[in-house]
Amino acid sequence: MIPRRAFPLGALCAAALLAAPAVLAQPAYPSKPITIVVGYPPGGSTDLTGRTLGDALSRQLGVPVVIENLGGAGGTIGAQKVASAAPDGYTLLVGANNEVAISKLVTKTVKYELKDFTPLGLIASQPMVLVASTATGVKNLGEFIAKAKAAPGKYSYGSSGVGTALHLAGEMVKERAGVFMTHIPYRGVAPLTSDLVGGNLEYGVFVLSSGLPHIKSGKVVALGTTEARRSPLTPDIPALGEHPQLKGIDIGTWFVLMGPARLPEAVTTRLKTALAEALKSPEFRQKMEASGSTVAAPGTDVQQFLASEVAKYQKIVQFAKIEQ
């Protein structure tokens, strides 16, 4: 038997390399389809944003992007799936205010936190709109505030549910105007609209894209949009903050792309670059603007944005004493 030490060191290293499994070479990202989870059923504004972005990212990344609708619990079931997914860049979330920034503040059963995600970028935003039933006879913000102040607790407003961005927008109006109204949570736009049109509910808060058809048809009266400036889509509807008693109101519905925490740096960079290119795409911008959204400026500091939004919501939640 030849002693082991008789083999040259170089030969031993070469043999070891040949015997080792070929695990060092990893395919470039992405090398297979990517899934974007949307925490709502098909047809809503988050789903529309997710599908529009999915098409744009697919063109940028060169792989299919599949939308998985995982509705329930105000978007938190879908968000939890992404928070728990492998950090490889193949499971992403297109999320909105509720599941990303609000739910943890109002619902004890939500297990994830912002630190469980890698924020990749802001996609778009759109305002909400405060509307009145035609049965109220209210035509503008001045009349709305005067009526509500004259009869504390007499009137109610509806939203899409407790702790949603629409609910928080309504509570912000109450806080700034110094009025008291009862909040009525609804399970979707259809029953909310039905009660407003039928005169069974005085006021309501819609996402602008959802409320606009009913405003245009004259079924409800638009009182004001919720972002700091008027929406380009509805320049004739004042921003709530234009009224002296509602100054400073600036709250909208927004959409963000996120992955699980601990995404590899190379994957994060690739996705951020693809998102920035998608946001500049004329086709993407046209589709989003047609839906009532304003596309985010590429390079927006998403970490800073989310931190400021959470701080804003925390104040409203404390004022309204919202907890589930």
4 is a domain residue: no
> Tokens for 23?
């695990």
What pairing do the DSSP bridges indicate for beta strands 156-159 and 294-295?
unpaired
212 is a domain residue: yes
142 is a domain residue: yes
5 is a domain residue: no
Cβ proximity of 197 and 214 under 8 Å: yes
Gap between the Cα atoms of 80 and 69, Å rounded: 13
CATH number at residue 63: 3.40.190.150
Gap between the Cα atoms of 235 and 241, Å rounded: 14
Gap between the Cα atoms of 37 and 258, Å rounded: 10
Gap between the Cα atoms of 225 and 209, Å rounded: 11
pLDDT tens, the chain, 324 aa long: 444 444 455 554 554 445 444 445 568 999 999 999 999 888 888 999 999 999 999 999 999 999 999 988 889 999 999 999 999 999 999 999 999 999 999 998 999 999 999 999 999 999 999 999 999 999 999 999 999 999 999 999 999 888 889 999 999 999 999 999 999 998 777 899 999 999 999 999 999 988 989 999 999 999 999 999 999 889 999 999 999 999 999 999 999 999 999 999 999 999 999 999 999 999 999 999 988 899 998 888 999 999 999 999 999 999 988 876
Gap between the Cα atoms of 292 and 44, Å rounded: 12
| The length of the chain, given as a count of residues | 324
Output the DSSP codes for 166-198.
Answer: HHHHHHHHHHHHT---EEEE-SSHHHHHHHHHT
In which residue are the tokens 């405060």 written? 130
Range of the domain at 302: 34-125+252-320
- The predicted pLDDT at position 210 comes to 85
Cβ proximity of 124 and 194 under 8 Å: no
The domain tally of the chain equals 2
Gap between the Cα atoms of 118 and 116, Å rounded: 7
134 is a domain residue: yes
Residue 138 and residue 242 share a domain: yes
Residue that is last in its domain, among 246, 276, 294: 246
Cβ proximity of 157 and 195 under 8 Å: no
- The predicted pLDDT at position 251 comes to 94
> Tokens for 175?
């806080």
What distance lies between CA 6 and its chain's CA centroid? 67
> Phi then psi for 10, rounded to 5 degrees?
-60, -40
Residue that is last in its domain, among 190, 222, 246: 246
151 is a domain residue: yes
- Pick from 35, 105, 104: which is nearest to 70 by CA? 35
Residue 233 and residue 158 share a domain: yes
- The predicted pLDDT at position 1 comes to 44
Residue 238 and residue 207 share a domain: yes
137 Cβ partners below 8 Å, 6+ apart?
Answer: 143
E strand or H helix at 277: helix 265-280
Instruction: Count Cβ atoms within 10 A of the Cβ of residue 27 and give its class: 0-12 exposed, 13-18 middle, 19 or more buried.
Output: exposed
17 is a domain residue: no
Residue 76 and residue 114 share a domain: yes
- Pick from 89, 76, 88, 12: which is nearest to 38 by CA? 76
